[in-house]
Chain A
Amino acid sequence: MALETPPATQERDHTRAALAELLLALADDEFVTGYANSEWTGIAPILEEDIAFSSLAQDELGHARLFYELLAELRGGAVSPDEIAYDRPPEGFRNAQLAERPRGDWAYSVSRQFLYDTADYVRLECLLGSRYTPLAQAAASVIREERYHLLHAHTWLARLAAGDTARERQHAAFTALWPDALGLFEPLPGEAALVESGIQPAPSAALCQRWLEQIEPMLRQLGLPWPFAQRAAGWEPLLAPHYGGRAGRHSREFAQLYDTITSVRRLEPGAQW
């Protein structure tokens, strides 16, 4: 069921703007993550992973395109998905900072993939119930492919934990990743309107708890860093999340990545391929 009963105009505009922010956050997370993953093409530790990370990248860019298309439709088709993706200043991006960090070592990249894709899965599961039909349909399409990402993420989580140096590096990676990973659940501007209208059926804080509940048994069993305290209301982080991405505030490292992502486009804006 689509949003068939338009609320008062002002409220409707507010909800629409919040929906645009949500679509942008979803698309940008996938877009930037896809680019980051593609950096392993040609240099991954083994050939299978070269292919795997390239495929993960291709999947994520496909998902990003789908969400940019929804956004383009929402804006009445006046802008193309490519224009939305490439023709923005860095502060126009709404991805969490987790996505924009340099790839680091192998342990860092696969640990990031684990945290990102498990979180993304929780978010998509929630959006299956979105009252904005195009978004619910997109989530249903994307989530089927994400199951293969989870398979990859779980395999490497266990594989590194069983190693020696690998395990040390995995530890260091998780320690570095936690504040950024929590930034995935930074509430969106206008989130109250999204939840109220059923576009996003649950608030980000609830999704974050759902995610932590799902991954906690695995991470604790493997003895990986778990910087949370159990409270009546759920898991409380013992460190400050890196927020800002959802409001267009990015790390210094994003400047370079942004430059790379948009470099070809800037060579000849509007070129036909």
Chain B
Amino acid sequence: MIDEHDIWQALRELPDPEIPTINLVDLGVILSVELDAGRRCARVLLLPTFNGCPAIELMRDQIRARLEQLGLEARVELAREVRWSTERISAAGRAALASAGIAPPGVPGSTLIPLIEPARCPHCGSRHTTLESAFGPTLCRAIGHCRDCQQPFEQFKPL
């Protein structure tokens, strides 16, 4: 008999469409999973990351397709009451980002200008880095530069 734990496990197999080394559960975008009494329908609450992120529709389709394989009809809804934040990324998720060469996000600053804290270089581990641009290949990533190993790198923006 299928239960909610199985659904969470299945969702762990789904990669983020833009950063495939991290899965949707570790990214923290799954707020909740509910199975109805008949165990035929599942309601998944999904948290958008950046508002303009085009991956959200892909995530929705992926979740629906995966749960269909489990014989479930999935209702994937966007949650607006709870906001996703980079603090929802799990320890495993942070490690997955680092292994893909993306510096994990720092703590979102309370000041007007975030990202002042230098990121740790994902190549050599140095803290001797600068922020080159707050904008990178996707909305959630910024570009840093390491003064020690002289390499550019991507960093996940704290949100």
Binding site for B on A (CB under 8 A): 48, 51-52, 54-56, 58-63, 65-66, 134, 137-138, 140-142, 144-145, 147-148, 150-152, 154
Contacts and interface: CB of A to CB of B under 8 A. Distances in A.
Q: Which 3 A-B pairs have the closest CB atoms?
A: A62-B52, A62-B51, A55-B135
Given A148-B135, A152-B135, A63 B157 contact: no
Q: Report the interface size class on chain B.
A: 20 to 34
B53 interface: yes
A138 B83 CA distance: 10
B113 interface: yes
Contacts of B108: 144
B112 A145 contact: no
A145 B159 contact: yes
Given A48-B143, A65-B52, A137-B81, 15 more contacts: A48-B135, A54-B135, A58-B54, A58-B139, A59-B139, A66-B51, A134-B80, A138-B80, A141-B51, A142-B51, A145-B139, A148-B115, A151-B115, A152-B135, A154-B113
Interface in B133-148: 133-137, 139, 142-143
Nearest to A141: B83
A52 B135 contact: yes
Contacts of A150: 112-113
Contacts, number: 72
A63 B51 contact: yes
10 contacts: A48-B135, A59-B139, A62-B53, A144-B83, A145-B51, A145-B52, A148-B134, A148-B142, A151-B115, A151-B134
A52 B134 contact: yes
A106 B27 CA distance: 37
A142 B52 CA distance: 10
B103 to A, nearest CB: 16
A210 to B, nearest CB: 14
A56 B53 contact: no
A134 B80 CA distance: 8
Interface string B112-126: 111100000000000
Interface in B4-28: none
Contacts of A152: 134-135
B51 A59 contact: yes
A62 B138 CA distance: 13
Interface in B56-97: 80-81, 83, 85
